[in-house]
Structure 1
Amino acid sequence: MTAIRILATSCILVAGSFSLALAQETAGPLVSAVEAWLASPHARRGSESFTHWNEDGEIPAQCATCHSSIGIRDFLGGDGSAAGLVDQPVALGALIDCTACHSAAASVLDQVTFPSGVSIGDLGSSAVCMVCHQGRQSSDGVEAALVGLDDAVSPELGFVNIHYRAAAASLMGTEARGGFEYPGKTYAGRFAHVPDFNTCTTCHDPHGLQVRPEPCAECHKTADLTAIRTRPADVDGDGDTGEGVAGEIASLHDALGRAISAYAAQIADASLVYAPDAYPYFFGDLNGNGALDAEEAAYPNRYQSWTPRLLRAAYNYQFIAKDPGIYAHNPTYAIQLLIDSIDDLGESTGVVAGNSIRP
C-alpha cells in the first residue's frame, strides 16, 4: 500500500505539477485510481502489448505511440517535439501510465485523425482514448490494396488487418470508414448515445477500463449489456425477437464466417480456417477438417489464395471480431457491414443473409 501511495503522489506531481499540499489532499482518491490502473490491461507488464518487441531490444517508433506512455507523450507533442509523430524508438519496459492521459497536451486534445485520413473533432475527453483505439486500417486501405486486380486469386494479395480494439472506428461508423464499405451502400455514422453516456469514460472506468453496467440499467432495465435490444426487428432473421443486439451481431458474424469458408473452398479452391489469437489470423486448412490444428497455426501456412471479394469480407469479419464491444459502440454499423459482406460473397457461393433485415 505504501508503494501505491508513493506512485499516486508521483503521478500527481509528474502529470500536473501540483503542490505537495494538494498532492497530500488528493492522495486518497489517487490510491484508488492507481490500484484500479494496476489491475488494468494498461499496466499488464508481461502482456504481448508490452513485450512483443523484447527480442528487438526496443519499441519501434510506429508502435510506440500506443504501447508506451513515452510514445504517446511524444505523439501529442507533450515532450516539446512536433505533435503527430513519434520520431524515435522507445526503450522496453514502458507501460501506459498516468502521464499518458493526465498531461497538458492530452487535456487539450480534441481532434483525431483516423487511418482513412479523416480528422474528426469535438471529441472532448475521449480524444486521447481514440488516438490508439482506432485501428490501423480502413475501407480506403482495403480499396488501395485491390487497385487494378480482377476478382480472382491473386498472389499479390495478403490479409489486411484492422489491428486490435478499434472501438473508436466502430463508434464513428462511416465518418471514419473503419469497416470496408461496399460501393453503392449507405452506412451509419457516429453512434450517438444519450448526452450523459456519450464519452468513453462514462461507460468505461477511466483507470480500470472495465465497463460499468449499473448506470445502464436505469434506462435499459438490465445490467446485462448483451441483453439490450436497440430495435424491434429480428435483424439476423433467426426468429428470436427477444435476444439482445449482441446476440444478433454474433449470429451474423458466425454466418459471415461460414460464407467466407464456403467461398474459399468453392471459389478460391483453397480452404481456410480463422485463428483469433494467431497472426495473421487466416490459415490454410491443410487437412480440410474445418478446424485449426496446431501445425497449421504458423506464419508459413498463412492463407495465400485471396481474391478481392474474399479479402473484403475477411477484413470485415476481423473488424467485428477485434471490437468485442461493437454491439454497444455502433450496432447498426456492425450489422450493415456483416449483411453486406455475406451478400457480396453470396453472389458467388449462393450463401446469403437470408431473412436478415439490413437497418
Structure 2
Amino acid sequence: MRNFTLALFVALPLAAILAAGTAFWPVSAQEAQGDAPVTLPLSGDEVLLPYVIPEAGPFNPEQIEIENNQAIADWFRSAHADAAAEAFRHWDDEEGIRPVCAVCHSGAGFRAFHGLDGSPPGIPEESVDVGGVVDCETCHNQGLSRITEIRMPSGVMHPVQGVEASCMTCHQGRTAGVTVVEAVAGLAEDGPNPDLRFINPHYATAAATWLGGYGGAGYQYEGRDYSGRFFHARPVASCVSCHQPHTLEVATDGCRTCHENGTPEEIRLARQSYDGSGNTTQGIRVDIANNAATLMSFVERYAAEVVGVPIYYDGGRYPYFFADANGDGVADTADGNPVVYASWTPRLLRASYNWKLVTADPGAYAHNPHYALELLYDSIEDLAGALGVEMASLGLLR
C-alpha cells in the first residue's frame, strides 16, 4: 500500500474563497491516493477544500510550543531541579526520605507538611519516596495562598504571602539560639560536658539570617541588642525581589540604583572597617569572612588552651567538629572513623554555633550583614575574655 495523506473535504461558498484571494480546486480521495482523477459533482457555487490531518508523532521538542517553556527550562537548570545533588540523593541507600527531612528535600514532603495534598498539616507520618526535587507544585500550588504565617525554629510566627511560604519553610534552618540556650542551661561556662553535642543550624539559612534578631536564629548574648529583619531598600520586600524564582540567580540590575558598584559581593554598606584591616574599599562580604576566620581561630585556641582538647573542623563530614588530641591539624580516628569532638563547654558551643550559622549562609553579606557582624563580634568577644585577649587589640567593630 502506498503512503498517502488523508484528505477530508469541506464545502465553502465560492464567493468566500475568492474574497480571501486564495485559489483552491476540488480534490478527491482517489486523487489523494494517486489514482486517476474522479470528477465530483458540485452544486451551486461550492467547491471542495482539502483538510489534511497532521501526521502522527513523535515530534521534535522544538516543534512543540509549551506554555511557560522558558520558566520550565530555567527551573530545570537550577539547583532546585538537580536530582543528582546531595540534597536529594542523601537518602538513596535508605530507599526513603525521613519525614522531617522530606519537608524540604522533596516536593511531596513539602505539600504533606502544609496539608496541600489533602492530608492533615504536619510532619509526614511515613518516609517519602526518594527522587523528588523542589518541583513546580512546591511554589505554584494554589493552596499556598491559604498559608499566612510560618513558624521559625525560634518559635517566632512570621507572616508570609504566597510563595514566601515556600522560601521561609525551607531556608530557616533547623535550630535557633534558643536551642543552644536550652542545651547549656545551668552548666559551668568553661566546664567540658560529655552530654553536650554540636548543634547544627543546618544549611542555606538565608531566611533565618534575613530576619535577624527578630527571628532569633543566632545565639544572642545577654545584654546585647541585635539588628532585626534587614529591609534593605524599599523595593526589596521578599526573596523574589532579588532572586529570579526559577533560575535562582540574583537580579543585580536594581543594585545600581543606590550603589556605585552593582556587584553584590563588592557592595559596602558603611565607610568603616569591621575586621580591623582599615580597608573600606572592599565589599562588606570580606569583613564578614575575615571576622568569621578570626572567630574560628579563637574557637581552635579556646579548645586547645582552655578545654585542653584541640578541635578540628571538617566541613565535608557531619558533625563537622572532631577531636585532634595531638594538634596536628588532622582528626583523630578510631576504628577507621574520625573521633567526634565531645569536650564541649557552653562557651565553646555558643561561639561555634554562631560561626556555623553565619558561614552556612553564603549570602549573609546581602541578607543581613549587620546581624552577621554582630553575632561574630559577640562570639569573638566571649572567647577573647576566656583567653585573656583584649578586644581593643583586634581593632574590630560591632
Name which of structure 1's ranges 161-170 and 84-93 shifts more when overlaid on structure 2: 84-93
Say if 2:331 and 2:339, in contact at 8 Å, map to a contact too.
Answer: no
Counterpart CA distance in 2 for 1:352 and 1:334 is 21
Counterpart CA distance in 2 for 1:284 and 1:81 is 45
Counterpart CA distance in 2 for 1:46 and 1:181 is 37
Match of residue 65 from structure 1: 103
- The answer to whether the aligner puts 1:145 opposite 2:192 as a matched pair is no
Aligned in 2, Cα 1:317/1:118: closer, same or farther, shift over 3 Å?
same
**By how many angstroms is 1:47 displaced?**
1.3
Counterpart CA distance in 1 for 2:162 and 2:111 is 18
- The answer to whether the aligner puts 1:331 opposite 2:369 as a matched pair is yes
**By how many angstroms is 1:299 displaced?**
5.7
Q: TM-score, normalised by structure 1?
A: 0.88
Counterpart CA distance in 2 for 1:2 and 1:319 is 47
Q: Deviations for 1:276-321, whole angstroms, at most 9, x for unmatched residues? A: 222111112244133x46969x864121111110000000010011
The 4+ residue runs of structure 1 with deviation greater than 4 A are 1-6, 292-296
The letter of the residue matching 2:299 is: I
Q: Secondary structure at the match of 1:84?
A: coil
**By how many angstroms is 1:261 displaced?**
0.7
Q: Which structure 2 residues correspond to residues 32-47 of structure 1 after superposition, within 5 A? A: 32-47=70-85
Q: Secondary structure at the match of 1:196?
A: coil
Counterpart CA distance in 2 for 1:344 and 1:230 is 26
Say if 1:125 and 1:199, in contact at 8 Å, map to a contact too.
Answer: no
Name which of structure 1's ranges 91-100 and 104-113 shifts more when overlaid on structure 2: 104-113
List gaps (5 residues or longer) in structure 2.
1-58
**By how many angstroms is 1:122 displaced?**
4.3
Counterpart CA distance in 2 for 1:316 and 1:115 is 15
Match of residue 395 from structure 2: 355
Counterpart CA distance in 2 for 1:176 and 1:2 is 50
**Bigger Rg, structure 1 or 2:** 2
Match of residue 6 from structure 2: none
**By how many angstroms is 1:212 displaced?**
2.0
Q: Deviations for 1:2-61, whole angstroms, at most 9, x for unmatched residues? A: 66998xxxxxxxxxxxxxxxxx7xx35x21111111111111111111111111110111
- The answer to whether the aligner puts 1:247 opposite 2:286 as a matched pair is yes
Say if 2:266 and 2:285, in contact at 8 Å, map to a contact too.
Answer: yes
Q: Secondary structure at the match of 2:166?
A: helix
Could you tell me which of 303, 311, 321 is aligned with 2:349? 311
Counterpart CA distance in 2 for 1:160 and 1:141 is 8
Counterpart CA distance in 1 for 2:346 and 2:248 is 37
Name which of structure 1's ranges 212-221 and 31-40 shifts more when overlaid on structure 2: 212-221
Say if 1:5 and 1:31, in contact at 8 Å, map to a contact too.
Answer: no
Match of residue 282 from structure 1: 321
Identity %: 39
Name which of structure 1's ranges 68-77 and 82-91 shifts more when overlaid on structure 2: 82-91
Q: Which structure 2 residues correspond to residues 137-176 of structure 1 after superposition, within 5 A? A: 137-151=175-189, 152-176=191-215
The letter of the residue matching 2:157 is: S
The Cα RMSD (Å) is 2.1
Q: Secondary structure at the match of 2:102?
A: helix
Counterpart CA distance in 1 for 2:390 and 2:367 is 26
Aligned in 2, Cα 1:43/1:238: closer, same or farther, shift over 3 Å?
same
Say if 1:164 and 1:322, in contact at 8 Å, map to a contact too.
Answer: yes
Could you tell me which of 113, 122, 128 is aligned with 2:151? 113
Counterpart CA distance in 1 for 2:234 and 2:224 is 29
Name which of structure 1's ranges 183-192 and 210-219 shifts more when overlaid on structure 2: 210-219
- The answer to whether the aligner puts 1:187 opposite 2:226 as a matched pair is yes
**By how many angstroms is 1:215 displaced?**
2.2
Name which of structure 1's ranges 347-356 and 249-258 shifts more when overlaid on structure 2: 347-356
The letter of the residue matching 2:240 is: T
Say if 1:280 and 1:302, in contact at 8 Å, map to a contact too.
Answer: yes
Counterpart CA distance in 1 for 2:62 and 2:183 is 48
**By how many angstroms is 1:108 displaced?**
3.4
Q: Secondary structure at the match of 1:100?
A: helix
Q: Deviations for 1:124-161, whole angstroms, at most 9, x for unmatched residues? A: 54222010100000010001111232120110111000
**By how many angstroms is 1:123 displaced?**
4.8
Aligned in 2, Cα 1:3/1:352: closer, same or farther, shift over 3 Å?
farther
Counterpart CA distance in 1 for 2:240 and 2:60 is 28
Counterpart CA distance in 2 for 1:223 and 1:2 is 41
Match of residue 8 from structure 2: none
- The number of residues matched between the two structures is 336
Q: Which structure 2 residues correspond to residues 263-302 of structure 1 after superposition, within 5 A? A: 263-290=302-329, 292=330, 300-302=338-340
Aligned in 2, Cα 1:80/1:194: closer, same or farther, shift over 3 Å?
same
Aligned in 2, Cα 1:356/1:182: closer, same or farther, shift over 3 Å?
same
Match of residue 344 from structure 1: 382
Name which of structure 1's ranges 86-95 and 165-174 shifts more when overlaid on structure 2: 86-95
Aligned in 2, Cα 1:293/1:214: closer, same or farther, shift over 3 Å?
farther
Structure with the higher strand share, 1 or 2: 2
Aligned in 2, Cα 1:308/1:130: closer, same or farther, shift over 3 Å?
same
List gaps (5 residues or longer) in structure 1.
7-23
Say if 1:342 and 1:351, in contact at 8 Å, map to a contact too.
Answer: no
Aligned in 2, Cα 1:186/1:275: closer, same or farther, shift over 3 Å?
same
The letter of the residue matching 2:265 is: T
Q: Secondary structure at the match of 1:197?
A: coil
Say if 1:135 and 1:164, in contact at 8 Å, map to a contact too.
Answer: yes
Say if 1:259 and 1:351, in contact at 8 Å, map to a contact too.
Answer: no
